[in-house]
Amino acid sequence: MTRTLGSTGIPVGDITLGTSSLGDGTAPGSAEEAAAVAAAVDLLTGPFPLVDTSNNYGDGRSEEVLGLALAQLGGRAAARIATKVDRDPETGAFDRDRVLRSYEESLARLGVDRVGILHFHDPYSVTFEEATAPGGGLEGMRELRDSGAVDAIGIAAGPIPLMTRYVETGLFDLVLSHNRFTLVDRSAEALFADARRRGMGVFNAAPFGAGILAKGSASRASYGYTGASPGLVTWIQRAEAVCADHGVPLAAAALHFSLRSDLVDSTIVGISSTRRLQQLIALRDTSVPDALWGDLDALGPAPTPLAAQDAAAAL
């Protein structure tokens, strides 16, 4: 399903493929790298029109693997690439000059002249005041968009209080939040609603909470890179029972929670293999009855582990 990113006019699919683990830990020229490139080819030629990566994913290996796949495909790639600028891995610098260098590094790895979508990613090594000051990272982002080097710029991070401050600058065309608009955490709802009012495009990443909503309560997997509390596991067990009553896997409900939202333009799901891509397509194509949502709401709010983290980040 094709949608438009806010008022940008940029088309996007209801699902965007994330590649944070693509090629991670692989060595150049290895069999593992070849397998990752084969997976990347499938991502770039599959049914989803956008693939999301970052300068720092896998210490650059995600972009390198995607670049190798693009070189193999030539003009046959059906999907476009979105990437993110990141702080200097050695010094933590994230000023204007680092933004421009990060973008140049990404283009070199990908083997392309430009990308349409570029995000300012995880600006935790600098304060908001430093990022927004003259010579700060936001100056570099504005420069890239105004010069036509990219079509749209976004802010991509986690803590909602910090994300809100960046959105309120009015600079960005897009917002990307992860783990905070899911079956068990609705904390990004106000952020996304504000972005909507501003005409921004909205990406919602990690609808499975980075693990447990895909693997289920028995896995005792983490939520948002944080251990799932006993209370959260119990809530998910109850949600699994509700889903079972409706004949729907929990993972399908978790994905469709994001897909059905009027606040979300595209849902980013991390994929690093062809098998996972096929599983995602099956979940996307699962029929979810409308009655399921009311029954899940009747469970009440889930005890998300991220609220305390975000509150601490705001201090």
Return all residues near 70 (Cβ < 8 A) that are at least 6 apart: 44, 77, 81, 110, 111, 112
CATH class of this structure's domain 2-313 = alpha beta
Tell me 260's DSSP state. Answer: T
Residue spans of the domains in the chain: they are: 2-313
- CA dist list (Å): 92 to 76, 102, 162, 185: 37, 12, 18, 30
**Taking the chain (315 residues) in consecutive chunks of 10 residues, what is each chunk's mean pLDDT?**
91 97 96 98 97 98 98 94 98 98 98 98 97 98 98 97 97 97 96 98 94 87 82 94 97 98 98 95 97 97 78 58
| φ, ψ of residue 83 in degrees (nearest 5) | -135, -175
* The token pair that represents 51 in the structure block: 């693939």
pLDDT of residue 295: 98
Return all residues near 52 (Cβ < 8 A) that are at least 6 apart: 16, 17, 18, 19, 82, 83, 203, 205, 268
pLDDT of residue 219: 83
Pairwise CA distance, residues 194 & 198, whole Å = 6
pLDDT of residue 298: 97
